[in-house]
A and B are shown apart, each in its own frame.
Chain A
């Protein structure tokens, strides 16, 4: 089966000589058709550049990018079957919402009546049926986001790119939009590729996640794989802030003599086990995060579920966990 998006040893470099920065460094990846794919990483990790390489606003210095098998080397953005939802939405302020949504059809020469009818259909799809006559300036952030989505979808792209799609929305709206994007993607069957620095967003929406660091993909896998079996210390720390143990520390705590990840929620307070002292508490609502200094000169984060008794700072506690929760990671990074 042909991948929807395929990167083969793609590099993108900015600047030249000593000041050169490899924003994307020898990345190979394949995104399957109909997949909801997340590119996750901190700012400057190359994820956005990868997205722009797919949309065509950047060209690779090395490597090839294929979309449904077709080499994109000489194909400009306006001739790719790919549409983007921009981070700042980039709605045209001088046009009505309806004209914004119909823009892609207008530049293709579709007659006014047909394209405006199509625009109305798309607005209904994103639950904004009565907003066609307004200007983008009269909409809220969440509504603009939906208009941007409708405008990108009206062209019936084979791949939809979303750049930090929920970044500008408040928490409540973000959660609602997560569910909505997910169900929209299921319904339309289009390949969605989205970029985010929010691991929660990536884990909850995506079928598959690629974790970026310094221009490279450090791990690709399902959200569960990435979360439960992080490949590197970077992934363990970036995705859900794990306790990362050095080989010696791990061995002392009864684990393998390797770099090891131990998730805070896998640790329990018990009557017996490794002794330590509570140094700090952070109340999270759905639980409490407790920092415990072990006698071994090591801090462990422990996530207590809501309702569990919470120790006081300074209190001596004992920690216990399943040995299988200690996940050994490959490599040194």
Chain B
């Protein structure tokens, strides 16, 4: 018989003792790791959102301009007034147009990067897509204002190519046209497209990267033409990425208040409406109700996407 086996080594200081505790009670470690992010997410993030939602059910006293802290749907009714509904419709249309255009523009780029780019070219791709994200948003937007201005490089280039009339014809289109690109919806659209495009390319590329090459070969092997392979295999498998990207482009456009302020006609977008209502007008309830709109639109959008089977390949 031999004596009981000693542990390989006795605890060496508090670190070792802590490790022992974590080993014996794994939930302690889990709780320690999860507490800070849960606190952040639950209290700071979701909490303030709930507070915002709550205030949208308050209303404002029309005579005194004071907020009446009683729950009512009056503010939401106000949202449906033609001038406010216009803002919502305008913003949603712009967001949809930007999303659609970035999806169309991003797909070939993402596809090339996922399927063909190797080594150095792949690095160049990531750099090219991310570089614009590293510079200041304001600088980019003001730069675009100059590019699109009546005296800017776009006008100059069109005239230099003898296509000045073409530009004027485009600008003469009602609603989306205007005095110059920088004061029209088209200008706003272009800048949105530029600024949010990386947010569409990256998730798309990630989802395309996960489609194995044999999947495409299998499709071709079974007799599919390239177009059929695209429609029945590539697109459905890339759909989660497209949806993820569109969530970014759509919601970022819905909430932005700086780009339409700097480039575009002076008509309000949701973000600008929120900005003015909570600031000078002091109408916090209506501002909150406006802020709820993008959330609702996104929820409806995701529900529809799910319905259409966009997440089947997840």
B214 contact from A77, A88, A93, A94, Cβ within 8 A? A88
List, in ascending order, chain B residues with CB within 8 A of A88's CB. 212, 214
**Across the two chains, which residue of chain B brings its CB closest to A99?**
B232
Interface size class of chain A, counting residues whose CB lies under 8 Å from the partner chain: 20 to 34
Min CB distance, A223 to chain B, in Å? 28
List, in ascending order, chain B residues with CB within 8 A of A93's CB. 237, 313
Contact mask for chain B residues 221-239; partner A; CB cutoff 8 A; 1 contact, 0 none:
1111100100011001100
A-B contact count (CB 8 A): 67
Min CB distance, B228 to chain A, in Å? 5
Flag if A55 contacts B221 (CB, 8 Å): yes
Flag if B312 contacts A94 (CB, 8 Å): yes
Flag if B221 contacts A84 (CB, 8 Å): yes
Q: Quick one: which of B146-185 are within 8 Å of A by CB?
A: none
Whole-angstrom distance between the alpha carbons of A287 and B309 in the complex? Answer: 56
Q: Quick one: which of A58-108 are within 8 Å of B by CB?
A: 76-79, 82-84, 86-88, 90-94, 103-104, 106-108
Whole-angstrom distance between the alpha carbons of A55 and B219 in the complex? Answer: 12
**Across the two chains, which residue of chain B brings its CB closest to A163?**
B214
Flag if A83 contacts B215 (CB, 8 Å): no
Flag if B214 contacts A107 (CB, 8 Å): no
A14 at the interface (CB under 8 A from B): no
Whole-angstrom distance between the alpha carbons of A118 and B232 in the complex? Answer: 20
B276 at the interface (CB under 8 A from A): no
Q: Quick one: which of B298-314 are within 8 Å of A by CB?
A: 309, 312-313
Min CB distance, A153 to chain B, in Å? 11
Whole-angstrom distance between the alpha carbons of A84 and B215 in the complex? Answer: 12
A107 contact from B217, B232, B237, B313, Cβ within 8 A? B232
List, in ascending order, chain B residues with CB within 8 A of A288's CB. none
B218 at the interface (CB under 8 A from A): yes
List, in ascending order, chain B residues with CB within 8 A of A107's CB. 219, 222-225, 228, 232
- Which of B212, B220, B233, B309 has most chain A Cβ within 10 Å? B220
B interface residues, how many (CB within 8 angstroms): 20
Whole-angstrom distance between the alpha carbons of A42 and B232 in the complex? Answer: 36
A197 at the interface (CB under 8 A from B): no
Whole-angstrom distance between the alpha carbons of A83 and B217 in the complex? Answer: 11
List, in ascending order, chain A residues with CB within 8 A of B312's CB. 94
A283 at the interface (CB under 8 A from B): no
List, in ascending order, chain A residues with CB within 8 A of B233's CB. 92
A interface residue numbers (CB < 8 A to B):
55, 57, 76-79, 82-84, 86-88, 90-94, 103-104, 106-108, 151-152, 155
Nearest first, the 3 A-B pairs at minimum CB distance are A104-B222, A90-B218, A90-B214
Q: A92-B237, A107-B232 are in contact. List 5 more A-B contacts (CB 8 A).
A: A92-B215, A93-B237, A103-B232, A107-B219, A107-B224
B interface residue numbers (CB < 8 A to A):
212, 214-215, 217-225, 228, 232-233, 236-237, 309, 312-313
29 CB contacts below 8 A, A to B, read A57-B217, A57-B220, A76-B220, A78-B221, A78-B223, A78-B224, A83-B221, A84-B218, A84-B221, A86-B214, A88-B212, A90-B212, A90-B218, A91-B218, A92-B215, A92-B233, A92-B237, A94-B236, A94-B237, A94-B313, A103-B219, A103-B224, A107-B219, A107-B222, A107-B224, A107-B225, A108-B223, A152-B221, A155-B223
